[in-house]
Structure 1
Amino acid sequence: MDLNLRKAIKNNIAGNNDEELQATIVDAIQSGEEKMLPGLGVLFEMIWEGASEDDKDSMLNLLEQEANKL
Protein backbone atom coordinates (compact mmCIF):
# COMPACT_ATOMS: atom_id res chain seq x y z
CA MET A 1 0.00 0.00 0.00
CA ASP A 2 1.32 3.45 -0.96
CA LEU A 3 0.67 5.88 1.89
CA ASN A 4 1.58 9.48 1.19
CA LEU A 5 1.84 10.90 4.70
CA ARG A 6 2.31 14.49 3.54
CA LYS A 7 -0.79 14.33 1.40
CA ALA A 8 -2.85 12.73 4.17
CA ILE A 9 -1.81 15.39 6.69
CA LYS A 10 -2.46 18.22 4.25
CA ASN A 11 -5.89 16.77 3.41
CA ASN A 12 -6.65 16.47 7.11
CA ILE A 13 -6.10 20.19 7.74
CA ALA A 14 -7.45 21.52 4.44
CA GLY A 15 -10.02 24.22 5.09
CA ASN A 16 -9.26 24.51 8.80
CA ASN A 17 -9.43 27.96 10.35
CA ASP A 18 -6.74 29.36 12.63
CA GLU A 19 -8.42 28.05 15.80
CA GLU A 20 -8.62 24.52 14.38
CA LEU A 21 -5.02 24.66 13.23
CA GLN A 22 -3.89 25.88 16.63
CA ALA A 23 -5.84 23.09 18.33
CA THR A 24 -4.16 20.53 16.05
CA ILE A 25 -0.70 21.87 16.89
CA VAL A 26 -1.33 22.17 20.63
CA ASP A 27 -2.84 18.69 20.79
CA ALA A 28 0.12 17.19 18.93
CA ILE A 29 2.62 18.88 21.25
CA GLN A 30 0.74 18.21 24.48
CA SER A 31 0.19 14.55 23.68
CA GLY A 32 3.96 14.03 23.71
CA GLU A 33 3.56 11.07 21.39
CA GLU A 34 6.38 10.38 18.95
CA LYS A 35 3.85 9.44 16.27
CA MET A 36 2.75 13.11 16.13
CA LEU A 37 6.20 14.38 15.10
CA PRO A 38 5.84 13.64 11.36
CA GLY A 39 2.61 15.65 11.27
CA LEU A 40 4.25 18.60 12.99
CA GLY A 41 7.12 18.27 10.54
CA VAL A 42 4.72 18.53 7.59
CA LEU A 43 3.10 21.60 9.13
CA PHE A 44 6.51 23.19 9.63
CA GLU A 45 7.45 22.34 6.05
CA MET A 46 4.31 24.13 4.83
CA ILE A 47 5.11 27.18 6.96
CA TRP A 48 8.73 27.25 5.83
CA GLU A 49 7.84 26.96 2.14
CA GLY A 50 5.36 29.84 2.39
CA ALA A 51 7.56 32.10 4.51
CA SER A 52 9.42 35.16 3.34
CA GLU A 53 13.17 35.37 3.92
CA ASP A 54 12.52 37.71 6.86
CA ASP A 55 10.08 35.22 8.37
CA LYS A 56 12.60 32.41 7.89
CA ASP A 57 15.27 34.47 9.63
CA SER A 58 12.88 35.13 12.52
CA MET A 59 12.06 31.43 12.84
CA LEU A 60 15.73 30.49 12.78
CA ASN A 61 16.57 33.09 15.42
CA LEU A 62 13.77 31.82 17.66
CA LEU A 63 14.85 28.21 17.13
CA GLU A 64 18.46 29.12 17.96
CA GLN A 65 17.32 30.83 21.19
CA GLU A 66 15.25 27.81 22.21
CA ALA A 67 18.05 25.38 21.31
CA ASN A 68 20.48 27.34 23.46
CA LYS A 69 18.16 26.87 26.46
CA LEU A 70 18.63 23.10 26.31
Structure 2
Amino acid sequence: MAINIRNAVIQNVTGNSREELEDTIVDAVQSGEELMLPGLGVLFEIIWQNASENDKKEMLQRLAGGLAK
Protein backbone atom coordinates (compact mmCIF):
# COMPACT_ATOMS: atom_id res chain seq x y z
CA MET A 1 0.00 0.00 0.00
CA ALA A 2 1.58 3.25 -1.16
CA ILE A 3 1.04 6.34 0.94
CA ASN A 4 1.23 9.73 -0.75
CA ILE A 5 2.79 11.81 2.00
CA ARG A 6 2.34 15.06 0.10
CA ASN A 7 -1.41 14.57 -0.29
CA ALA A 8 -1.81 13.35 3.29
CA VAL A 9 -0.04 16.40 4.71
CA ILE A 10 -2.01 18.79 2.52
CA GLN A 11 -5.30 17.15 3.51
CA ASN A 12 -4.35 17.32 7.20
CA VAL A 13 -3.69 21.07 7.15
CA THR A 14 -6.15 22.31 4.53
CA GLY A 15 -8.60 24.66 6.18
CA ASN A 16 -6.41 25.26 9.23
CA SER A 17 -6.13 28.79 10.58
CA ARG A 18 -2.80 30.60 10.64
CA GLU A 19 -2.54 29.81 14.34
CA GLU A 20 -3.16 26.11 13.73
CA LEU A 21 -0.55 26.09 10.96
CA GLU A 22 1.93 27.77 13.26
CA ASP A 23 1.18 25.26 16.01
CA THR A 24 1.75 22.41 13.55
CA ILE A 25 5.12 23.81 12.49
CA VAL A 26 6.27 24.65 16.01
CA ASP A 27 5.25 21.23 17.31
CA ALA A 28 7.09 19.48 14.48
CA VAL A 29 10.26 21.51 14.97
CA GLN A 30 10.27 21.27 18.77
CA SER A 31 9.55 17.55 18.82
CA GLY A 32 12.70 16.82 16.84
CA GLU A 33 11.07 13.66 15.51
CA GLU A 34 12.42 12.60 12.15
CA LEU A 35 8.98 11.34 11.17
CA MET A 36 7.85 14.98 11.04
CA LEU A 37 10.51 16.00 8.50
CA PRO A 38 8.60 14.91 5.38
CA GLY A 39 5.59 16.94 6.50
CA LEU A 40 7.73 20.00 7.06
CA GLY A 41 9.22 19.43 3.62
CA VAL A 42 5.76 19.45 2.06
CA LEU A 43 4.89 22.68 3.88
CA PHE A 44 8.16 24.24 2.72
CA GLU A 45 7.42 23.14 -0.85
CA ILE A 46 4.10 25.01 -0.68
CA ILE A 47 5.81 28.10 0.73
CA TRP A 48 8.48 27.98 -1.97
CA GLN A 49 5.97 27.55 -4.79
CA ASN A 50 4.01 30.58 -3.59
CA ALA A 51 6.96 32.85 -2.81
CA SER A 52 8.14 35.78 -4.88
CA GLU A 53 11.70 35.80 -6.19
CA ASN A 54 12.63 38.25 -3.42
CA ASP A 55 11.07 35.98 -0.78
CA LYS A 56 13.03 33.02 -2.18
CA LYS A 57 16.28 34.99 -2.01
CA GLU A 58 15.54 35.95 1.60
CA MET A 59 14.75 32.34 2.53
CA LEU A 60 18.00 31.18 0.94
CA GLN A 61 19.97 33.87 2.80
CA ARG A 62 18.38 32.81 6.09
CA LEU A 63 19.05 29.15 5.36
CA ALA A 64 22.68 29.83 4.46
CA GLY A 65 23.08 31.96 7.59
CA GLY A 66 21.54 29.27 9.77
CA LEU A 67 23.84 26.63 8.33
CA ALA A 68 26.89 28.82 8.84
CA LYS A 69 26.41 28.97 12.62
Aligned residue in 2 for 1:64: 64
Number of corresponding residues: 69
Unaligned segments of structure 2, at least 5 residues: none
1:24 alignment partner, SS class = helix
Aligned mates of 2:68, 2:14 — CA distance in 1: 34
TM-score w.r.t. length of structure 2: 0.97
Aligned mates of 2:31, 2:60 — CA distance in 1: 25
Aligned mates of 1:38, 1:2 — CA distance in 2: 15
Kindly state the Cα deviation for residue 2 of structure 1 after the two structures are TM-superposed: 2.4
Unaligned segments of structure 1, at least 5 residues: none
Aligned residue in 1 for 2:2: 2
Aligned residue in 2 for 1:22: 22
- Give me the identity figure in percent: 59
- Runs of 4+ more than 3 Å apart: none
Q: Which has the higher contact order (CA 8 A, sep 6+)?
A: 2
Aligned residue in 2 for 1:36: 36
Aligned mates of 1:30, 1:57 — CA distance in 2: 26
1:3 alignment partner, SS class = coil
> CA RMSD for the aligned pairs?
0.6
